[in-house]
Amino acid sequence: MGRLIAPHAEIETPVFMPVGTVASVKGIPQETLEELGAQIILGNTYHLYLRPGVEVIRRMGGLHRFMSWPRAILTDSGGFQVFSLNELRKVTEDGVTFRSHLDGSSHFFSPESAMQAQIGLGADIMMAFDECTEYPADGDRMRASMEMTARWAARSKKYFEEHKNEVPWACVGTDAPVGPEGRRSESSAVWSASGFAAEYGEAHSDAEPRSPGKPKVSVPMHSEATQALFGIVQGGMNRELRKESAERTIEIGFPGYAIGGLSVGEPRALTREIVESTLEHLPADKPRYLMGVGTPEEIVEYANLGVDMMDCVLPTRAARHGLLFTSEGRISIKQARYAQDEAPLDPNCPCRVCQRYSRAYLRHLYASNEMLAQVLNTIHNLSFYLDTMRRVRHSIQLGESS
């Protein structure tokens, strides 16, 4: 089990990161995410850049304060969405020209502008700008794409190093939360060994009344607290190219490494093979992040292989479609067989949904197209994922201490 010190949280790994695409984990308020024990969530740079715009968020002190989320945030580089949502994109050495999926307007992302956007958003962890290689791709294409990602990684790091002090919370330490008596909460920041100010959600209990106009979310008070930039390994489905990509990315030097370009339509066995072989080439003393994966079974499998961080839209997206993950397997709550089922969704789940509601009621909400169906389903699925990862950490801890 590892511990990752970020400006807004100390994260126990392996960790699952719920996806909050547009500064919102769909269907679930931030206080509920805290209650479920989410340590870090993801924001998508592409979506936030288009709406509400980086400048709006930057002026409000960054993403943490904008969305009132006191724990850690990771933003992706925008690369994956540009590649997956834009059929008309144009890629050159400089960067990618793409059209907004919202209004068709033309935009340009380069390694530099993607870093600038992510610094403006102010997540704890940001990602180098990469090219997500499509699947299938031939050998020449996989190599060219991997090499482009390596050059873009170097440019990303250069820009980041020169501009990391521009993060919106770097110089606003005096805006720490004010308690009920108008005093700053003494316990709201602690110092970690690495010199980062770690921020804990518990320091701001919900019992504390919120002064009007005062943001509830604190910002790090240590002037040296900065974001971390992670590199991304590409190389398609070729083990040799993956090895070379890992080596070249490590040579540039990042505090963490991600495996990108998977879950793009390849068979699951191939995903596993590439993950396993790529992990061998990544340093075990730095966090290793597998992007965009996977099912509850897969996140356990990959955590046991040594992956420290994972994110996936599956628990939240499936929940909105009535697909629920339980300790007894998957349940499609729309099925008529649950219409009179008084049992909880998952008898082994401690979440507030399983403690309170029956399958019959959840099925009724879904069939009636009630908003509450999506909310409750999302709470359960995320709770199941976060609990699954908690159990993995526990078993790793037991293994380490025996």
Q: Shortest gap between Cβ of 207 and Zn ion (angstroms)?
A: 26
**Are 301 and 322 in contact, with CB atoms under 8 Å apart?**
no
Residue 159 CB neighbour total at 10 angstroms:
21
Q: Which residues bind Zn ion (CB under 5 A)?
A: 349, 351, 353-354, 380
Q: Shortest gap between Cβ of 353 and Zn ion (angstroms)?
A: 5
User: Dihedral through CA 243, CA 244, CA 248, CA 253, nearest 10?
Assistant: 0
**Of all helices (H) and strands (E), which one includes residue 74?**
strand 72-75
Q: Shortest gap between Cβ of 396 and Zn ion (angstroms)?
A: 23
Tokens 């356990």 correspond to 300
Residue 343 in tokens:
């049992």
The single residue of 76, 124, 130, 387 carrying the catalytic annotation is 76
Tokens 């794409």 correspond to 145
Q: Shortest gap between Cβ of 370 and Zn ion (angstroms)?
A: 18
Cβ closest to Zn ion, residue 31 vs residue 162: 31
**Are 221 and 197 in contact, with CB atoms under 8 Å apart?**
yes
> Of 69, 65, 58, which Cα lies nearest the Cα of 29?
69
**Are 227 and 122 in contact, with CB atoms under 8 Å apart?**
yes
Residues 6+ apart with CB under 8 A from 107: 49, 50, 97, 98, 99, 100
Cβ closest to Zn ion, residue 113 vs residue 388: 388
User: Dihedral through CA 25, CA 26, CA 32, CA 37, nearest 10?
Assistant: -40
**What is the chain's length?**
402
Cβ closest to Zn ion, residue 282 vs residue 351: 351
Active site residue 311: yes
Q: What is the DSSP string of 348-385?
A: T--SHHHHH-BHHHHHHHHHTT-HHHHHHHHHHHHHHH
Cβ closest to Zn ion, residue 143 vs residue 380: 380
Residue 66 in tokens:
């904008």
Cβ closest to Zn ion, residue 232 vs residue 349: 349
Rounded-to-integer distance, Cα 133 and Cα 146, Å? 8
Q: Shortest gap between Cβ of 355 and Zn ion (angstroms)?
A: 8
Cβ closest to Zn ion, residue 47 vs residue 380: 380
Active site residue 124: no
Rounded-to-integer distance, Cα 371 and Cα 281, Å? 46
The single residue of 124, 130, 311, 346 carrying the catalytic annotation is 311
Residues 6+ apart with CB under 8 A from 162: none
Q: Shortest gap between Cβ of 243 and Zn ion (angstroms)?
A: 41
Rounded-to-integer distance, Cα 180 and Cα 216, Å? 12
C-alpha angle 152-157-159 in degrees, rounded to nearest 5: 95
**Are 335 and 314 in contact, with CB atoms under 8 Å apart?**
no
Q: Shortest gap between Cβ of 68 and Zn ion (angstroms)?
A: 25
Rounded-to-integer distance, Cα 390 and Cα 277, Å? 25
Residue 232 in tokens:
């991304």
Q: Shortest gap between Cβ of 379 and Zn ion (angstroms)?
A: 7
Cβ closest to Zn ion, residue 232 vs residue 386: 386
Cβ closest to Zn ion, residue 104 vs residue 350: 350
Kindly report the backbone phi and psi dihedral angles of residue 10, in degrees, each rounded to the nearest multiple of 5, phi listed first: -105, 120
Q: Which residues are catalytic?
A: 76, 311
